[in-house]
Amino acid sequence: MAQIPPEKLQEVRDRADIERVVSRYVRLTKRGRRYVGLCPFHSEKTPSFGVSTEKGLYHCFGCGEGGDVIDFVRKIDGLDFVDAVKSLAREFGVQIEDRPETPKEKAQRTRKQQLFDVNRLAGAFYAKCLERFPDAQRYLIQERGLTPETIAAFRLGWAPADWQSLANLFEKKGVDLELGLEVGLLGKSAREGRIYDRLRGRVVFPIEIPGGMVAGFGARRADWVDPEGPKYLNSPESPIYDKSTILYGLAPARQEIRRSRQAILVEGYLDVIALFQAGFHRAVAGCGTALTRAHAQTLARMTEEVITMYDGDTAGQEATQKAAMLLLAEGLRVRVVNLPDGEDPDTFVRRQGADSLQKLIDEAPSAIDFFVARARAAQAGGGIAGTTRALDAVKPMILAIKDPLERDVTLQAASRALGVDAQLLRRHLGAKIPPAPKAPQIRAPQTRQARVSPVEIAILRRVLEAPAETLPTLESNHAFDAFQHDAIRMAVEAARGALADGMKFDAPQALDRMRETGADEGTLTEIRRHLLDSPPAPDPVDQLVARLMESHKKAQLARLKAELLKNGDLSSLERASEVKKLLDPNA
């Protein structure tokens, strides 16, 4: 792995605003001197995730995940350490000249960048082509009602019907055609091996990821070119595109989702765009795939409520139920907009207007109420068989709710609505369907939690916050060897060295030094938790150091007594007496 000079790492940590970085993924609320929100690394309903801008640290008191701003970017974006540092360096203006990468790392990074460059070139080409093809413009502006501003905002384009327009452009620009094949922009005929434009004759929807890069494309059939072809073509999986994790429209919607605390989930690209143009800037959709657990987890990190707005037909209702189950399993509130049969969000908002759609949103029932009502309709006049069908319709929704109390309240409401005894419904749920599978979570480290003295942590905090005052007091009392915990002692020693060199030493550096000494993750988690959450000790520094020395002497006495009991060593007894006199001169 390429290595980055320590001074550059520190510059990145100093410049990177951890609250700003974390806020891209977590809706944070100021609470005292820190920010809190729902942990992005495990599912929870009550915020246990904290961020301290003063210390440059984050920590989850639920699952134990924590670290500095580099750790956060590395874990949340799935990057290695070097790529996380470089990402932050680019964002916050730090120039880095790192040591050479391994050949494999360099090849992987170069390949990904080449793929992004190919998509960028193709996207610009498609956008230019749209300007030159009146039929494509007419389709978007007249048939779909989009304004030029909306078209530009979503970088929509047109792939010419010619079989080799894009391939010819790549050859002219010296682009390896294999790159175009890898991201699905080009295809190759099986018989002749001929290269052709895979998305030809289609309206193109670039799929952006954070940072504005294009990871893939969706492409809609143009009926005036080919009325018989597949309605949509989408980019295949590639090193830069995973449709199971990417939500279309999230880049422009992210800020509004956090502000409004609500996301609107739709099915298609044009649904997202039509709602955006109508003023609903919080709509997202899957990229040619049904909602996945990863999608639901992404939404849960940013908001508390999701409005599902799928097509009003039978297939749309089935998709709504599946999506609602995934969203409920992540602790989200879910409400359902029931569009008229034959309508989708795009057509509805164009025909009925934004006010009518907002009314549907305001009146949307909870997912549970919606599906209980459907179950009651299916139950009507059906006798026992109808009741069984109704129970079967609601049980997956109830079991998707993770919170036991909320699940029980919902079960009681469903039993009343269906006219079924609650105990009977409970037995029916338990007997026929196992609990919904839990989402994968990053759990707290299973390592042993080391016992760390509160006074040692209090002194470490003082060292980090006021080294010029604290370190001389430790020096004058010969207290550096009095720390019982090796990791803290090494961190304090490192701070002393940094002060002597006139350099800064902060909490992330302290944790790095402790990690280098072999401190287990349980210990680091405990120390990080105290640094982030515990109030500063009110005692003066000299009193803290006196308590440290007293604790050290007591520990010495305990060790000596243990030696005496084990070995019957008279010298140990004499030394124990000496230490006891130090503790109590009158003994």
CA dist list (Å): 404 to 126, 304, 331, 411, 440 = 51, 18, 11, 10, 19
* Residue 262 pLDDT greater than 80, yes or no: yes
- Give the neighbor-by-neighbor strand order of the sheet with 214-221: 157-159, 202-208, 214-221, 232-234
Distance CA 228, CA 130 (A): 22
Instruction: Tell me which residue has tokens 């007894």.
Output: 573
* 76 belongs to a structural domain: yes
Residues 389, 281 share a domain? no
Nearest to 321 by CA among 344, 357, 290, 283: 290
Strand locations in 283-433, DSSP E?
A: 283-286, 305-308, 333-336
Rounded to the nearest integer, the mean pLDDT of the chain is: 83
DSSP letters, 103-146, are HHHHHHHHHHHHHHHHHHHHHHHHHHHHHH-HHHHHIIIIIS--
In which element (H, E) is residue 427 found?
helix 422-432
Residues 475, 395 share a domain? no
Residues 349, 299 share a domain? yes
Residues 60, 108 share a domain? no
Query: Domain boundary residue among 234, 265, 291?
Result: 234
Instruction: Tell me which residue has tokens 């089935």.
Output: 318
Distance CA 242, CA 234 (A): 11
Distance CA 392, CA 372 (A): 11
- Which of 57-61, 137-141, 392-396 bottoms out in mean pLDDT, i.e. has the lowest? 392-396
DSSP letters, 397-425, are HHHH--SHHHHHHHHHHHHHHHT--HHHH
What does the pLDDT look like over 75-120, one tens digit per residue? 887 677 888 888 898 888 888 875 566 788 788 888 999 999 999 9
444 CB-contact burial (10 Å; exposed 0-12 / middle 13-18 / buried 19+): middle
Instruction: Tell me the mean pLDDT in the region 519-531.
Output: 76
* Cβ-based neighbours of 474, under 8 Å, separated by 6 or more: 459, 463, 480, 492, 496, 545
Distance CA 389, CA 372 (A): 11
* 438 belongs to a structural domain: no
Residues 474, 576 share a domain? yes
Residues 384, 302 share a domain? no
In which element (H, E) is residue 15 found?
helix 6-15
Confidence of residue 445 (pLDDT cuts 50, 70, 90): very low
Query: Domain boundary residue among 337, 364, 391?
Result: 364
Query: Domain boundary residue among 207, 234, 261?
Result: 234
SS3 336: strand
* 98 belongs to a structural domain: no
Instruction: Tell me the mean pLDDT in the region 444-454.
Output: 50
What does the pLDDT look like over 156-210, one tens digit per residue? 999 999 999 999 999 999 999 999 999 999 999 988 889 999 999 999 999 998 6
Residues 112, 228 share a domain? yes
Q: What is the dihedral of CA 45, 48, 53, 57, to 10 degrees?
A: -120
Residues 259, 223 share a domain? no
* 118 belongs to a structural domain: yes
Q: Are 59 and 444 in contact (CB under 8 A)?
A: no
Residue 440 vs residue 422, higher pLDDT = 422
Count of domains forming the chain: 5
In which element (H, E) is residue 186 found?
strand 186-188
Distance CA 468, CA 253 (A): 47
pLDDT score, position 438: 44
pLDDT score, position 395: 79
DSSP count for the chain of H helices, then E strands: 26, 16
Strand partners, 555: none
Confidence of residue 309 (pLDDT cuts 50, 70, 90): very high
Residues 12, 115 share a domain? no
* Residue 13 pLDDT greater than 50, yes or no: yes
Query: What is the reported pTM?
Result: 0.62
* 299 belongs to a structural domain: yes
pLDDT score, position 98: 56
What does the pLDDT look like over 291-305, one tens digit per residue? 999 999 889 877 889
pLDDT score, position 200: 96
Instruction: Tell me the mean pLDDT in the region 132-141.
Output: 96
Residues 458, 399 share a domain? no
Distance CA 261, CA 567 (A): 67
pLDDT score, position 558: 74
* 447 belongs to a structural domain: no
Instruction: Tell me the mean pLDDT in the region 498-508.
Output: 76
CATH code (residue 151): 3.90.980.10
Neighbour tally for 149: CB within 10 Å: 8
pLDDT score, position 179: 96
CATH code (residue 297): 3.40.1360.10
* 442 belongs to a structural domain: no
CATH code (residue 508): 1.10.860.10
Residues 360, 375 share a domain? no
What range does the domain containing 278 cover? 247-364
Q: Are 398 and 407 in contact (CB under 8 A)?
A: yes
Residue 215 is classified by DSSP as E
* Residue 362 pLDDT greater than 50, yes or no: yes
* Residue 343 pLDDT greater than 50, yes or no: yes
* 441 belongs to a structural domain: no
* Residue 151 pLDDT greater than 90, yes or no: yes
pLDDT score, position 555: 77
Nearest to 205 by CA among 307, 285, 278, 319: 285
Residues 158, 82 share a domain? no
Distance CA 422, CA 400 (A): 18
SS3 readout for 136-178: HHHHHHHHCCCCHHHHHHCCCEEECCCCCHHHHHHHHHCCCHH
199 CB-contact burial (10 Å; exposed 0-12 / middle 13-18 / buried 19+): buried
pLDDT score, position 268: 94
Buried b (16+ CB within 10 A) or exposed e, 298-308: bbbbbbebbbb
pLDDT score, position 574: 55
What does the pLDDT look like over 543-577, one tens digit per residue? 888 888 888 888 777 776 666 666 555 454 555 55
